[in-house]
Every structure is written in C-alpha cells, then in structure tokens.
Amino acid sequence: MKKFFFIFILALLPFASTTVSAESDLPLISEAGIIIDAKSGIVLYGKNANEKMYPASLTKVATAIYAIEHGDMNELVTVSKKAAEADGSSVFIEPGEKIELSKLIAGMLINSGNDAAIAIAEHMSGSEKRFMENLNEFLRKEVNVTNTHFTNPHGLFDENHVTTASDLAKITQYAMKNEIFREYFGKKDLPWQVETWDTTLVTHHKILKGELPYEGITGGKTGFVSKSGYTLISTAARGEQDLIVITLKAPTNKDAYSDIELLFNYGFKNFKSAKIDKKSILYSADHSHSYTLNEDLYYTHLISDEPSLKTSNKGILSITNQEGAAIKSFDLKMVADVRNTEVLPSIKEETINEEATTFSVSSLGWITCVIFIIVITVFLKKSRKKRNDVRTRY
C-alpha cells in the first residue's frame, strides 16, 4: 500500500543580502542618506548610512507606529500640563482636554505636534520616561535596529537622542506595513477641532502636499532643529516598486528636497522590484528535494540585468545577476523529499503522473498473474475430470 505524505509549508528564513548599486557615488548634499526598496529591504544607495545622527521630528514615526500597535485607537487621552506646554511645533491642545488617541497620532504626524507626542507617551506608559524605555525596547526587539536610542517621543535636541539613516529606513519600512500608519503618513491635510483651535492641519512635507510635485509620492515626514539640520523621510511608489528615502542634516530645506528627488530618480530609473509568489515550488539542483514559501518573496535588481534563481541541494535559494554575483540569498526549509515520497498533485504533478503510470503497469501485472492462475486451475480441474472419466469406463 502506497503512503501519502502531507506537505507542511515552513518559514522562510533570511540568509544573506547584498547592496545593489548602479552608481559608486551620487552628488548628495545631505550629510547622510539612504534609499531602500520597501518590499525587499535592499539598500539601493547609501551615504554615511550607519553614522549616528540627530533625527529631529523624524522620531515621531517611531512614536506613531508604537502607539498604533500597542494602543487603543478609540481611547480618550487626557492632556497633561506638561504636554500642553511642550516647546516647538504644536497642535495647540489644552491641559485637561480629552482627545482620541487616533486623532493625536494623526495630528502628530501631519503637523508634527510635540505636545501631541508627549500626551501620547504619557497615556501609553504613564510617563514620558517609561514610554521611552518601552519604545527603545520595541525598536530593538521588533524592528531590529541596532544604532538607535531615543530620549524623548518628539525629537527635540538631546545629545543622547540619536539614530542612523539605515535605522530610520528600517523603522519606516516596518511602519509602512501597517495600514493605519500608511493612511496617516500619506495624509496631506486633516480637519482639526480642539478646545482652542478650529482649523485644518496641513502636512509640512512640501512634496506630499504638492508644493514640489513628484510622481508617486505616498508619504512624508519633516524634521528640523539646529543641531540636526533639515531631515526628511519620504516614500513613493510606481507600479510594483515602493521606495523609501531618508536624508539627514541637509544645510538648507531646498537641499533636503533636492536630495530626495535625486535619490528617487536614481531608484526608479535604475532598479526593478520582482516577486516570487508564495505558491511557487522550488526544486534543488538535482531535483531531489522541493521547497515552498510561506509568504511572497521580494527582491530587487538592476533594470539592465536579468537575474537568475538557483536552489542548491542544501536548500539555499540564490538570486544572482548576469555576472554571477549574489543579489540575495535565502535559507529554505524542505517540504518534500521527492526521491522517497509521493507528493500532492498541486506540488509535483509530473511525479504523480509517472508513479500513476508505474502503478497501472504494476496492477496490470497482478491481474495477468491472477488470470493465469485461474486458467491453470481450470485446466487442472478439467484434466482430473478426464482421468476420472477414463477410470470410470474401465
């Protein structure tokens, strides 16, 4: 009796990655910057991307995604005196005022309200200090950043409040996977009614609000304090390609936006995003094993290069360019040993057909044997009967 083995789809684990690049240098004015593919996480270009810098209000992206994931969006936040009196940019909330958490998060991102950031932190963790402990732990463990330490939820200057362009790209990539965050991050304006202010908040990001039009812009956050210079996070999409750009410490606002456009143009002009569907079946080089994915796999390559996919006998999927250099590699989990087991038709139809054919031939052989035995038995019975008839006559 033949045995059928069920196929279990196991996790896809990251193995290694490399930076894809079309240029050795770009005339970036900002002291640090990076552009990544939001789906694959591949770095397309970086300048001082791992240098610790002051992010200013870009900090609020981290505050927002933590609050969205760990808070109740419908809860009312009671504004403290400390929050209402925060320095810098504000959404003009008053002590004792009660505002929905969702509204404060949106106002913080769109109008960069420092008062909203403190109110969120105090509501989420009881105190600003405790919130920062929780936020930093979240960034380390959940977002996997390594060079970030925030001392406040808004980004006002503190010499110990630091991050990197690379870490900010990872934080933004993580945040953009959240539907609520994407909605707030991409808003150009927001009707705003509080006790002392009835207005419409408008994003400070000039490209997002259309002051400096750019095709495909999907979100943005600005930042500035004197020690950080002009800082920007920007996201854009065209077709299947989603890009994230971070620029830090530009000397002027104009330079910051010039760098954003430079990096986006570079990314869209030179690179293409590709996907391996999670339903795909991958086979080892000798076709002895099959592998599958538990999620869609994204990778990025130069538009001028047509990559190839190879799966080794040890289950390592390598994506290489035309010159054979690795673009990205993954360690796959085996789901079937096709040498020793039959697999489901949806996984390997050819194997099923071949084995079905083998089984049919085998079955025919057994049927022939049975018929032969029956014929012999009948023949022997007839022979015995004839002998008995002869004895009876004589």
21 is annotated as an active-site residue: no
Other beta carbons less than 10 A from residue 329's beta carbon: 18
DSSP classification of residue 17: E
258 is annotated as an active-site residue: no
Alpha carbons 43 and 49: distance in angstroms, whole number: 10
Alpha carbons 360 and 62: distance in angstroms, whole number: 63
Dihedral sign from CA coordinates of 98, 101, 102, 108: positive
| Token couple for 5 | 């083995």
DSSP classification of residue 321: -
381 is annotated as an active-site residue: no
Q: Could you say which of 39, 60, 206, 328 is catalytic? A: 60
- What angle (nearest 5°) sits at the alpha carbon of residue 338, between those of residues 9 and 328? 55
- What angle (nearest 5°) sits at the alpha carbon of residue 32, between those of residues 31 and 34? 150
> Which residues, 6 or more positions from 309, have their beta carbon under 8 angstroms from its beta carbon?
276, 282, 317, 318, 319
Alpha carbons 308 and 321: distance in angstroms, whole number: 6
Q: Could you say which of 30, 57, 89, 166 is catalytic? A: 57
Q: What are the phi and psi torsion angles at 351 (to 5°)?
A: -65, -45
Q: Could you say which of 17, 30, 112, 166 is catalytic? A: 112
E strands present in the chain: 13-17, 32-37, 43-47, 76-78, 98-100, 189-194, 197-202, 217-225, 229-238, 241-250, 271-276, 281-283, 289-292, 297-302, 308-311, 316-320, 326-331, 334-337
Quickly tell me which residue has 């996070």 as its tokens. 233
Alpha carbons 332 and 334: distance in angstroms, whole number: 6
- What angle (nearest 5°) sits at the alpha carbon of residue 178, between those of residues 177 and 183? 110
Question: Distance of CA 119 to CAs 220, 222, 357, Å?
Answer: 22, 20, 71
| Token couple for 181 | 């965050």
What residues act catalytically? 57, 60, 112
